[in-house]
Amino acid sequence: MPHGHHHHHHVSAKDGDTRVAWAVAVNVGLTVVQVVGGLLSGSLSMIADALHNLSDAVSLLIAVWARRIARKPADDSMTFGYGRAEIVAALVNLTTLIVIGLYLAYEAVVRFFEPQPVAGWMVVIIAGFALAVDLVTAALTWAMAKDSVNMRAAFLHNVADALGSVAVMLAGTLILIFGWTWVDPAVTLGISGYILWMAFGEIGEVVRILMLGAPPRLPSEQVLRTAEGVAGVDNIHNAHLFQIDEHRSALQAHVVISAGEWTRADAIKTEIKARLDAAHGLSHVTLEVECAAHSCAHPARIGA
């Protein structure tokens, strides 16, 4: 679910926490129902799916825990604030999702060679109930998923579960009616591929932020040329353009003031910041000013 800069109506923090609390509650309820159904039907796969749903509830708890931490203001130990707590939570949840996708692929391949019987219509019916719960959870978290990679990771866990429920219903029905045992692993393999595609589509952005990478849609050279377009700027060097978190980017750089323009250094610095904000939305800009006669010797364009 790759994305760019979003402009959605944001869900309030309080409303978002309430939604996630309900999503956790319905997933825990579903886990209980599936464990009971698995025991009554003798279906080990149903109990396994119940544990998967419990992992969804845990992923949502991780997500909401990170949301709350991210709201804390900056302090002397976290001078940039706690916004990256959501990025760390997203990394945990996406990594778990990749493990689940790989495990499903492994199980699907094994079941091609060792078909497993479906334990009656009860499994199909409970899978239908599970799908309904997954859709409720999706409705509760979808609005928040649009603006937060953390909530998208939790949402993708739910999508994976919904697809699993569809697979159980479809494959179970076809096996019971036609005896097509190959349908179950075939559908599972397709779902595992889709889960992995979604997870890998998101995790790159998360890793990029944690690695202090430049914003993907904001080329560093373009930003530096904007700054160098201000009258009185000789050049920009030792530049660090990075993402503070999912929604904020920052620039740190050395600015060499042209010969004869030093008396305007403060005004030039102010103009650079104004242009970067207007052209690229960069409001976190830290500039070290140097005169042309005493600038860094053999400086790097990017980095120190």
| pLDDT over 90 percentage in the chain | 33
Going by pLDDT thresholds of 50, 70 and 90, the confidence category of residue 116 is low
Q: Are residue 114 and residue 39 in the same domain, yes or no?
A: yes
Quick one: which of 242, 297, 231 has its CA closest to 265?
231
Q: Are residue 80 and residue 35 in the same domain, yes or no?
A: yes
> Where would I find the H helices in 71-148?
85-113, 121-145
pLDDT of 241 higher than 70: yes
**Enclosing domain of residue 199:** 13-210
Q: Are residue 29 and residue 75 in the same domain, yes or no?
A: yes
Quick one: which of 69, 90, 85 has its CA closest to 201?
90
Two structure tokens written together for 300: 């790097």
Instruction: Give dist(CA 141, CA 267) in Å, integer.
Output: 46
Does residue 288 form part of some domain? Answer: yes
CA distances to 8, 162, 210 from 149, in Å: 14, 20, 13
C-beta of residue 101 within 8 angstroms of C-beta of residue 196: yes
Q: Are residue 48 and residue 117 in the same domain, yes or no?
A: yes
Does residue 300 form part of some domain? Answer: no
Does residue 6 form part of some domain? Answer: no
- Left, alpha or beta for 67 (phi > 0: left; psi -120 to 50: alpha)? alpha
Q: Write out pLDDT tens, residues 123-141.
A: 677 778 778 877 887 777 7
Helix H or strand E encompassing 76: none
Q: Are residue 170 and residue 69 in the same domain, yes or no?
A: yes
Which pLDDT does position 3 carry in this prediction? 43
Q: Write out pLDDT tens, residues 17-68.
A: 777 778 778 778 877 877 787 677 655 556 666 666 777 788 888 888 888 8
Which pLDDT does position 152 carry in this prediction? 84
Query: What single DSSP character describes residue 231?
Result: T
pTM: 0.76
Q: Are residue 161 and residue 256 in the same domain, yes or no?
A: no
Q: Are residue 204 and residue 240 in the same domain, yes or no?
A: no
Does residue 81 form part of some domain? Answer: yes
Does residue 1 form part of some domain? Answer: no
Q: Are residue 193 and residue 261 in the same domain, yes or no?
A: no
Out of 210, 234, 264, a domain closes at 210
Q: Which residue has the tokens 């419990």?
A: 54
Instruction: Give dist(CA 269, CA 287) in Å, integer.
Output: 7
Out of 191, 210, 229, a domain closes at 210
C-beta of residue 125 within 8 angstroms of C-beta of residue 156: no
Two structure tokens written together for 259: 């010969």
Does residue 282 form part of some domain? Answer: yes
Q: Are residue 34 and residue 117 in the same domain, yes or no?
A: yes
| pLDDT over 70 percentage in the chain | 88
Q: Are residue 168 and residue 281 in the same domain, yes or no?
A: no
Out of 210, 232, 259, a domain closes at 210
Q: Are residue 247 and residue 118 in the same domain, yes or no?
A: no
Does residue 267 form part of some domain? Answer: yes
**CATH number of the domain that 237 lies in?**
3.30.70.1350
C-beta of residue 35 within 8 angstroms of C-beta of residue 47: yes
Two structure tokens written together for 117: 């019987």
**CATH number of the domain that 38 lies in?**
1.20.1510.10
Does residue 299 form part of some domain? Answer: no
Which pLDDT does position 188 carry in this prediction? 77
How many domains would you assign to the chain?
2
